[in-house]
Amino acid sequence: MEATFKIWETSRNIYLKIIENYSLEQLNTIPDGFSNNLVWNLGHIIVSQQGLVYRLSGLPMNISTGMMEKYKNGSKPTATTQEEVDELKGLLFSLLNQTKDDYANGKFVTYNEYTTGTGFHLASTKDAMEFNNYHEGIHLGFMMNIRKFI
């Protein structure tokens, strides 16, 4: 799992660098031809990780229900405040560290198998964490494209 966590941390550092280089207006901009914006992608990877790893392991998620609703799969971007952006930035690493600690402490005991919308079958928490890195990579690519147009 060391490599999985290292990839995840590297990805999160890239997300943080992107987010810190744009104004709130730019973060909320949905360019023509896109269905979301930079900040929605950031929120989405946070809530997706919590759902894939914690919820499907039968553990409580470390985010609010409101955040889950705002950024879950199928949601549409709404205006995000600077306070919300700051909260998301803080969660990038606090949730990563929480997950690493919970994994090291054996909190992930069971897993409710799940097949993603893209066809990946997740049979364990380890599978979910590895898929999470793939999922975050997809959204990082979306963000790199979006930033060309804002």
> What pLDDT digit, counting tens, does each position of 70-106 carry?
999 999 999 999 999 999 999 999 999 999 999 999 9
Q: Please give the pLDDT value at position 21.
A: 95
> What pLDDT digit, counting tens, does each position of 97-123 carry?
999 999 999 999 999 999 999 899 999
Q: Please give the pLDDT value at position 55.
A: 97
Residue 110: what are its φ and ψ, rounded to 5°? Answer: -120, 165
Q: Please give the pLDDT value at position 115.
A: 97
- Element spanning 37, H or E: none
Split at pLDDT 50, 70, 90, the class of 137 is very high
Q: Please give the pLDDT value at position 76.
A: 95
> What pLDDT digit, counting tens, does each position of 6-57 carry?
999 999 999 999 999 999 999 999 999 999 999 999 999 999 999 999 999 9
**21 in Cβ contact with 139 (< 8 Å):** no
